[in-house]
Amino acid sequence: MATAVEKQKKASLIPMMGSFGPNAAVVKLGLSKLGICGPTVAAPLRLDSDQEDKILAWMRRVGLEV
């Protein structure tokens, strides 16, 4: 149960990634890196490598371990 609660807290930060653009792949990447879903949920996760690096850096800054 504690693991589920922790993942829910982390996942609640994902919508804040909107600054990277209105792209479903941004949210899917975040959820995948948190281990909440796989990389092929509904559509493959494909972003430009520089955008992915920015998103991962942001996730680390807010305290998410990816």
Please report, rounded to a whole number, the percentage of residues in the chain having pLDDT higher than 70: 68
66 or 62, higher pLDDT: 62
- How many helices (H) and strands (E) the chain has is answered by 3, 0
C-beta atoms surrounding 23 within 10 Å: 13
Residues of the domain holding 55: 2-61
* Cα(45)–Cα(25) distance, integer angstroms: 5
Helical segments of 1-66, H only: 2-11, 24-33, 49-61
Q: For the whole model, what pTM was predicted?
A: 0.44
Q: Does 66 fall in a domain? A: no
DSSP E strands: which ranges in 1-66? none
Look over the chain and give the mean of its residue pLDDT values, rounded to a whole number. 75
The mean per-residue pLDDT over the stretch 40-49 comes to: 68
Q: How many domains are contained in the chain? A: 1
Give residue 52's pLDDT.
83
32 or 21, higher pLDDT: 32
* Cα(64)–Cα(1) distance, integer angstroms: 19
